């Protein structure tokens, strides 16, 4: 394996890794990953030691500050594959020690197993919810009470989003930033064993505080649709979907900037690479479905080589820096674009190049409504900017097929759609 950087302190905060309430400093040194995985040596006075080397969490930090006397913030973070190797090399006692010492770090560390992260993040969520409720009951000054109420509403959204739908899959809290405006990622289904994994990435104006439960409900609809198609095709593949609000989405004050897209691209790449790291070898069929500004962020991550996926679909995209589908590096050019009638964002090429233009080379995904050529069901149209993921739409139907590697059955609005049936294409 290649030489890389290993965490010297598990108090890891770097590009692409969530930054909870305090920013912790790390140092790193080169090491050869073809040697035995480093083991956790000790935990004392806030210092975690890996492979006999140690670093102390920065003290006295607020917000995004770092006490330079204790260490510096390094980017990029160690790769998820190296994190996975390191974690898998620890014994149970050392894992428990690391999780207890730095729960907000381990709970968000891409490469750590999902069930571990879920347990840690749920404990953090419960603890912070209880603390906020106590502080509000005890009485706070006006400004502090407003801030605490905002955080509480945000965390209650996450808590609500963790409740499975009747008959739906289990939900795991894979990422959690409890500082307002927050970040979170919730998996539906088993990411460890799934044959197909689809990640939903939101765009502007969709926040954890107001939309985490709704975004996760949409993700549950996608899961159900994919399961239904698996049964229709008589196949035994397993699916998992991810409700991902892992970056601070823009609002009306900053939606014209690409700064948050850069941050989203980095965070998404880390998350995707974490999934890859937990599946050495061929792994699952991995898709990203991105809406609006989220498509710009995802395109950045792909075109810059920060991550790879098996399929990518954009809905209501304002465009981006990528000029041609080949720049995204998606196998077989498995890139689709959906553009709804009366969507004011599509065709604007606001951030550069319109991915829906013929010169871009993406495949068309029809979202205007039609009769399903396979089931005969009536599929409704998506109208405007926010209806691409509604149940019963042609858009959700097509996304579901893309996510289970059935892109040949995606309707594009042409006369050939009626030929897209298993009997005719098989």
End-to-end CA distance of the chain: 41
Chunk the chain into consecutive blocks of 10 residues (it has 426) and report each block's average pLDDT, rounded to whole numbers. 33 33 30 34 35 28 27 54 91 92 93 96 98 91 92 97 97 97 97 97 96 98 98 95 97 93 96 93 94 98 98 97 97 97 95 96 98 97 97 98 98 96 81
- The model's pTM is 0.85
Which residue spans within 277-388 are E strands per DSSP? 285-291, 311-315, 335-338, 363-364, 370-371, 378-379
- Is 269:290 a contact under the CB 8 Å cutoff? no
User: What's the CA gap between 111 and 283, in Å, rounded?
Assistant: 14
Report which secondary-structure segment, H or E, holds 173: strand 171-177
**DSSP 8-state class, residue 219:** H
Residue 49: count of CB within 10 angstroms of its CB: 18
Torsion angles phi and psi, residue 174, rounded to 5: -90, -25
pLDDT at 203: 96
Q: Looking up tokens 């900053």, which residue turns up?
A: 254
Exposed (0-12), middle (13-18) or buried (19+): which is 61, by Cβ within 10 Å?
middle
Structural domains of the chain in order of their starting residue, each with its CATH number: 3-109 (no CATH), 142-425 (3.40.50.1820)
For 152-209, the pLDDT digits (tens) are: 999 999 999 999 999 999 999 999 999 999 999 999 999 999 999 999 999 999 999 9
How far CA 125 is from CA of 147, 154, 206, 276, 283, in Å, comes to 17, 11, 21, 26, 30
pLDDT at 423: 85
User: What's the CA gap between 232 and 69, in Å, rounded?
Assistant: 61
pLDDT at 370: 97
pLDDT at 424: 78
User: What's the CA gap between 99 and 117, in Å, rounded?
Assistant: 9
For 4-53, the pLDDT digits (tens) are: 333 334 333 332 333 333 223 332 322 223 333 333 333 333 333 333 32
Angle, vertex CA 20, rays to CA 190 and CA 164, nearest 5: 30
How far CA 409 is from CA of 123, 207, 297, 392, 416, in Å, comes to 43, 33, 27, 16, 10
3-state class (DSSP) for residue 318 = coil
Residues linked to residue 353 through DSSP beta bridges, in sequence order = 320
Torsion angles phi and psi, residue 315, rounded to 5: -125, 130
Report which secondary-structure segment, H or E, holds 32: strand 28-32
């Amino acid at each position: 394996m290649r030489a890389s950087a290993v965490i010297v302190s598990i108090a890891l905060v770097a590009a692409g890794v969530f930054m909870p309430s305090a920013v912790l400093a790390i140092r790193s040194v080169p090491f050869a990953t073809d040697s035995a995985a480093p083991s956790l040596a000790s935990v004392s006075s806030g210092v975690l030691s890996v492979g006999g080397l140690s670093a102390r969490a920065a003290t006295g930090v607020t917000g995004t500050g770092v006490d330079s006397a204790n260490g510096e913030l390094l980017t990029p973070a160690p790769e998820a594959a190296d994190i996975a190797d390191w974690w898998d090399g620890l014994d149970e006692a050392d894992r428990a020690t690391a999780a207890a010492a730095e729960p907000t770090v381990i709970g968000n560390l891409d490469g750590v197993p999902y069930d571990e992260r879920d347990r840690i993040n749920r404990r953090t969520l419960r603890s912070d919810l209880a603390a906020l409720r106590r502080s509000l009951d005890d009485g706070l000054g006006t400004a502090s009470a407003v801030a605490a109420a905002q955080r509480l509403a945000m965390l209650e959204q996450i808590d609500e989003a963790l409740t499975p739908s009747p008959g739906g899959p289990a939900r795991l809290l894979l990422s959690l930033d409890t500082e307002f405006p927050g970040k979170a990622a919730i998996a539906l289904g088993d990411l460890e064993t799934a044959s197909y994994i689809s990640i939903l990435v939101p765009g502007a104006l969709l926040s954890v505080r107001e939309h985490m439960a709704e975004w996760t409900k949409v993700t549950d609809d996608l899961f159900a649709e994919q399961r239904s198609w698996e049964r229709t095709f008589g196949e035994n593949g397993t699916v998992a979907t991810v409700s991902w609000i892992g970056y601070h989405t823009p609002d009306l004050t900053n939606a014209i900037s690409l700064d948050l897209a850069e941050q989203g691209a980095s965070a998404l790449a880390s998350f995707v690479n974490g999934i890859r790291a937990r599946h050495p070898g061929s792994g699952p069929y991995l898709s990203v479905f991105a809406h609006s500004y989220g498509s710009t962020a995802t395109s950045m991550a792909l075109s810059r080589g920060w991550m790879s996926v098996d399929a990518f679909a954009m809905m209501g995209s304002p465009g981006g820096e990528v000029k041609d589908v080949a720049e995204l590096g998606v196998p077989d050019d498995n890139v689709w674009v959906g553009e709804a009638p009366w969507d004011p964002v599509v065709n604007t090429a606001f951030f550069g190049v319109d991915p829906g233009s013929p010169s871009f080379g993406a495949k068309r995904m029809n979202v205007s409504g039609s009769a399903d050529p396979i089931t005969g069901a009536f599929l409704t149209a998506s109208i405007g900017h926010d209806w691409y993921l509604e149940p019963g739409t042609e858009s959700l139907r097509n996304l579901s097929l893309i996510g289970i590697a059935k892109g040949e059955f995606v309707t594009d609005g042409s006369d050939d759609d009626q030929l897209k049936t298993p009997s005719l294409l098989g």
